[in-house]
């Protein structure tokens, strides 16, 4: 008993700003290291020094004497893809952490709740009907995400409380329905368009580099909004009425966080398609090692999610080279067992 108490004590000490900052710095350093390794990994072998030189040259605008093919591979193919994995991984993880706190349900995640598919419906509709507007896809995806989460919450509510299973069931039903809508939209699309929609839908991080700046802005903004509410979310995790009595403006926090998490889910989906389980696995792993305080969970999930998706994508593009796996396959292989484990523990 004492040993156990001590273990919990060491595991879940009070979260202080110093502890958060130290953890985040270590994680950030790890992320940079993995990003460099990832950029170096691929069929064309390029050394670390060369990579650093190319990136430095790209930033400063100085010309360098490195083969232009190598420069193109780094700056136009691998680097955007690595950055995309980082922002999408961060977005999906933080959205998961936020939904879990708001819905008081460790199983909630943009994929399980159907929010990702809802965003996909919006994005596909925009691709088919308004392809010329480049910002149309993220905006339509955001709209799809907001409408979906509203529907799922409505369906998942029972008169008194919202039990875990009911909410997840509502998510599954919504997800199934929206998947049919996706198939319907795709059958009505044709030829080239269909192919581009298809490769995007199952999680391709390489094909939307031009949207990277726009979605990065959305995602960073959304994460900042959620982080700003993280202390309030701590209290809401133990119950909305209690949070209200403790001084949280519950309605305002809910509105802000729902909108922000839908924004980042929509932004992520609009460039990467539907990638499952990231938002489930990462916040869970973070809570397991660092406790449930959202002031730690939100930023640490962002970095851990970035690292996770970056590794997953690097595996996806190298494991059966020269062909590529879709990154969603890799995340599902890790995520589905974790989901089953969490579900069994919850009931």
Partner 1 sequence: MLEVRDIHFSYSEPLLKGVSFDVHQGELLAIVGPNGAGKSTLLKIILGMLRPASGNVTLEGESIAKMSRRKLARFIGYVPQATDVRFPLTAMEYVLQGRFAQGRILGFESDGDVEEVRRAMELTDSTDFACRLVSELSGGERQRVMLARALASRPRLLALDEPVANLDIAHQLKMFDLARRLTSTGEMGAIVVTHELNLAAEFATRVLMLKAGEVRAIGRPSEVMDEKTINDVFDADVLIDKNPVTGAPRITLLATAQEDCSLSRS
Binding site for partner 1 (CB under 8 A): 5, 8-9, 12, 14-17, 20, 104-106, 227-232, 234-235, 237-239, 241-242, 244-249, 287, 291-293, 295
**Residue 96 phi, psi (nearest 5):** -60, -50
Residue 162: CB minimum distance to partner 1, A: 12
List C-alpha distances in Å: 327 to 41, 141, 334. Answer: 16, 20, 11
Residue 226: CB minimum distance to partner 1, A: 11
Residue 112: CB minimum distance to partner 1, A: 16
Q: Could you tell me which of 105, 43, 102, 103 has the C-alpha nearest to residue 77?
A: 43
Q: Is the dihedral of CA 168, 172, 174, 178 positive or negative?
A: positive
55 vs 162, beta carbon nearer partner 1: 162
55 vs 225, beta carbon nearer partner 1: 225
19 vs 193, beta carbon nearer partner 1: 19
Residue 269: CB minimum distance to partner 1, A: 26
| Three-class DSSP category at 158 | coil
111 vs 227, beta carbon nearer partner 1: 227
Q: Alpha-carbon distance 27 to 24, whole Å? A: 5
Q: Could you tell me which of 235, 234, 257, 240 has the C-alpha nearest to residue 99?
A: 257
Q: Could you tell me which of 324, 307, 304, 306 has the C-alpha nearest to residue 315?
A: 324
Q: Alpha-carbon distance 291 to 289, whole Å? A: 6
23 vs 38, beta carbon nearer partner 1: 23
54 vs 101, beta carbon nearer partner 1: 101
Residue 243: CB minimum distance to partner 1, A: 8
Q: Alpha-carbon distance 98 to 265, whole Å? A: 11
Residue 247: CB minimum distance to partner 1, A: 3
Residue 330 neighbours by CB under 8 Å, 6+ apart: 312, 313, 315, 316
146 vs 300, beta carbon nearer partner 1: 300
225 in Cβ contact with 257 (< 8 Å): yes
Residue 301: CB minimum distance to partner 1, A: 13
């Amino acid at each position: 008993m004492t040993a156990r108490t001590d273990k919990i004590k060491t595991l879940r000490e009070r979260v202080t700003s110093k502890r958060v900052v130290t953890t985040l710095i270590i994680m950030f350093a790890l992320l940079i290291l993995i990003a460099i390794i990832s950029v170096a990994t691929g069929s064309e072998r390029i050394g670390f020094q060369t990579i650093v030189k190319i990136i430095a040259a790209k930033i400063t605008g100085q010309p360098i004497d490195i083969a232009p093919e190598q420069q193109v591979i780094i700056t136009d193919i691998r680097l955007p893809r690595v950055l995309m994995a980082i922002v999408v991984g961060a977005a999906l993880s933080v959205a998961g952490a936020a939904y879990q706190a708001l819905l008081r349900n460790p199983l909630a995640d943009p994929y399980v709740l159907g929010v990702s598919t809802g965003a996909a419906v919006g994005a596909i509709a925009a691709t088919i009907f308004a392809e010329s507007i480049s910002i149309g896809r993220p905006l339509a995806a955001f709209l799809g995400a907001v409408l979906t989460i509203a529907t799922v919450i409505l369906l998942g509510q029972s008169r008194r409380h919202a039990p875990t299973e009911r909410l997840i069931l509502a998510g599954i039903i919504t997800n199934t329905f929206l998947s049919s809508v996706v198939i319907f939209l795709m059958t009505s699309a044709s030829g080239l368009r269909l192919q581009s929609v298809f490769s995007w839908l199952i999680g391709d991080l390489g094909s939307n580099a031009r949207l990277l700046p726009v979605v990065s802005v959305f995602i960073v903004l959304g994460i900042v909004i959620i982080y700003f509410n993280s202390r309030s979310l701590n209290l809401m995790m133990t119950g909305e009425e209690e949070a209200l009595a403790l001084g949280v403006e519950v309605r305002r926090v809910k509105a802000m966080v729902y909108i922000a998490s839908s924004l980042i889910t929509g932004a992520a989906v609009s460039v990467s398609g539907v990638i499952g389980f990231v938002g489930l696995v990462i916040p869970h792993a973070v809570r397991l090692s660092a406790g449930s305080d959202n002031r730690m969970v939100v930023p640490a999930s962002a970095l851990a999610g970035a690292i996770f998706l970056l590794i997953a994508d690097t595996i996806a593009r190298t494991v059966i080279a020269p062909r590529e796996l879709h990154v969603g396959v890799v995340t599902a292989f890790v995520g589905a067992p974790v989901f089953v484990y969490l579900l069994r523990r919850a009931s």
